[in-house]
Structure 1
Amino acid sequence: MTPRERYFAVLRGQRPDILPRVPILMQFAAEYIGSNYGVFASDHRVLVEANLRCAADFGFDQLSAISDPYRETSRFGAPIEFPRDGVPICLKPPLEDDPDLAKLPRPDPLQAPRMLDRVQAIRAYRARTGERYSIMGWVEGPAAEAADLRGLANFFTDLLDDEEYVDRLMHRCVDTAIDFARAQVEAGADTIGIGDAVASQVSAATYESLILPAEKRLVDALHAMGARVRLHICGNITHLLPGIARLGVDLIDLDHFVDLPTARCILGPRIALAGHLDPVADVMRGTPAGIRAAVSAARVAANGPFLVGAGCEIPAPTPRENLRALCTPVAPA
């Protein structure tokens, strides 16, 4: 099977030759080719080269266009700083001092420089690899983007004090995410990742009443485009799983805090579970033998469709032999 074929086999409930490897790399990939995070996040040519080299050398099955949370935010008016060796920084959330939604533009993904840069990455992947790999685009989820626009403290206050405003704000965020995703799908992405990490910090009731409906509208729109959907919410999201089960996503990244059998019981037999290894304790600080054992244990615990990775980004200091161990071909359970 090609990498793309085995990835789609799992999503279709079929048996692949080996489990697909779908780790998320950013700073590691940049440094692997002798570059740095700042350039990786600001120049699609570096992002593409870094991920292609890592896919070839370590054995990945999916190429990713993820770099940082501020692609959309930058076009909404936020100034973004690019440290050489760190995650890009939003210097001023556009709605931090004034919540008026009328001041927000409707970003055009093919005109906004940072959004277009991601679209160009996907075009380059498709041009250079054809149908060999799965290609994953990325958008910010409604809660994450709303928090980026308002500032985290303001967003949490809004959730408590003004639910109607939060709903309108997230509606605007979903509109932009749909536009951005469509441009990426048209460029060649077969999967869109949704990053909505801030959702892990709210109660199940708040998630299901306010955030879930916005996420559901986004997921449904992505499926209507023909894309598969990968949900990424860092942290312990066990309390959110009953709601997430209603989203209809194709695969979900699960951090090491989440018990895999519990997740499978709640999410059902169809959804593919990905990740689960602790990126620091298991992958960065672990041993190759320990990593292979952890992957094998996770495969069994997942009790259904499973893709190999860590719960979040592979840390930059991870020894290369550890990443090779993570990507060692493993037969499905």
Structure 2
Amino acid sequence: MSQYSWFTVYEYAKIPFREYCLDYRSQCNAMIKFAEDFGVDWFHPSGFAYCEAGAYGMDIVYPEDDCPYPEKHLILDFERDYKKIRSLNIKENDAMMNRVRGVKHYKDTVGEAYFIAGHVEGPLAEYTDLRGVSEGLIDLLDYEDELSEIFQIIVDNSKRWIDLQAESGADCISIGDAICSQISESMYLERIFPYHVQLIEHANKLGIYTKFHICGDSSRILPHLIEAGANILDIDSLVKDVPSLIKRLGKGQVLCGNLDPAAVLRFGTPQMIEDEVKKIIDDTKGKCMIGGGCEIPKGTPVENMHKFLEAVKKYSD
């Protein structure tokens, strides 16, 4: 059983979300307690999308109890600012090293009892974090050569960060490229997919698994990631034809998801949660890590999480 449940975890631990993001010990200990009480099988030392962005120089605001956000984007004028995306000295950046320390804290605390996944942002997600979503997508059309250079720099930084997380005990690396569902399949294959392949191959050389998360309806992208050898494929609740994906899976590959985190887990009835869990298990024939299709919202009732665990146990037997 897997979860995107950072908001649920910090609420359950009764700590400020700012502390959850910035203090790796608080984050890890909160997740361990949550896992013990709700049956989550793995840990994911993340919690906010701007970790790398801060290392590139973007100023990040950390509210007490809400998502971090940029004070302003790093790349406001492309031709003036794009060189700010550069090779990073990861070991000198506290936020990036906190993720490495988080992996080690999990490993030192729980050993082999849980599956531990590190995390990096994918190249398009990271670029749009730094540039802004609308501006970043328009840049795909206007600055093809420059963006190829930028994406390679981002991926090279990610590879070195993956190395550090793997050395600290990560069993898997999660790669979040959420925005890819908003571009065409042909543009994805030409402009982004080669960098995803690089990340998969790099993780394979290190002997760790890869997990991809793309928000929204990623149906046209997932078959390519399956073919490239990604081990765990997140499926958001907007991905509808799950059985066709199951047929494509090879050895060592599973799906992950795909309950609607808002309509089902946050606002759903106990019966709705049970019915949806059963449907996923039936559709995926045991080849799916059951969880929310994306982040489970703040305010999700504890009772719903317990019902979720109960249903997973009931229909997995």
Q: TM-score, normalised by structure 1?
A: 0.89
- Which residue in 2 is equivalent to 1:184? 165
| Offset of residue 267 of structure 1 | 4.8
Shift in CA distance, 84/98, structure 1 to aligned 2, threshold 3 Å? same
Does residue 1:155 correspond to 2:158, yes or no?
Answer: no
The aligned residue for residue 317 of structure 1 is 299
The higher relative CO (CA closer than 8 Å, separation ≥ 6) is in 1
Task: Determine the C-alpha separation between the residues in 2 that align with 1:181 and 1:270.
Answer: 20
Q: What does residue range 1-333 of structure 1 map to in structure 2 within 5 Å?
A: 21-99=1-79, 100-259=81-240, 260-267=242-249, 271-328=253-310, 329-330=313-314, 332=316
Q: Distance in 2 between matches of 1:246 and 1:202?
A: 19
Check conservation: 2:236, 2:260, Cα contact below 8 A.
yes
Structure 1 gaps, min length 5: 1-20
Distance apart, 1:291 and its partner CA: 1.3
Structure 1 range deviating more: 186-195 or 96-105: 96-105
Deviation at 1:101, TM superposition (A): 4.5
Structure 2: runs of 5 or more not aligned: none
Task: Indicate if the aligned counterparts of 2:85 and 2:150 stay in contact, CA closer than 8 A.
Answer: no
Larger CA deviation: 87-96 vs 219-228: 87-96
The residue identity in structure 2 corresponding to 1:75 is A
Q: State the Cα distance separating 1:292 from its structure 2 match.
A: 2.1
Q: In 2, are the aligned partners of 1:136 and 1:190 still within 8 Å (CA)?
A: yes
* Matches of 2:224 and 2:142, distance apart in 1: 23
In structure 1, give the amino acid aligned to 2:270: P
How many correspondences in the alignment? 313
Please tell me whether the aligned partners of residues 277 and 309 of structure 1 are also in contact (alpha carbons under 8 angstroms).
yes
One-letter amino acid of the counterpart of residue 114, structure 1? A
Deviations 1:176-233 (A, max 9, x none): 1111111111111111111100101000010011010111111111111111111000
Give the superposition deviation at 1:266: 4.6
Aligned residue for 2:210, secondary structure, equals: strand
Does structure 2 retain, via aligned residues, the 8 Å contact 1:192–1:227?
Answer: yes
Aligned-residue offset at 1:169? 1.0
Q: Which has the larger helix fraction?
A: 2
Aligned partners of 1:109, 1:48: CA distance in 2, in Å? 21
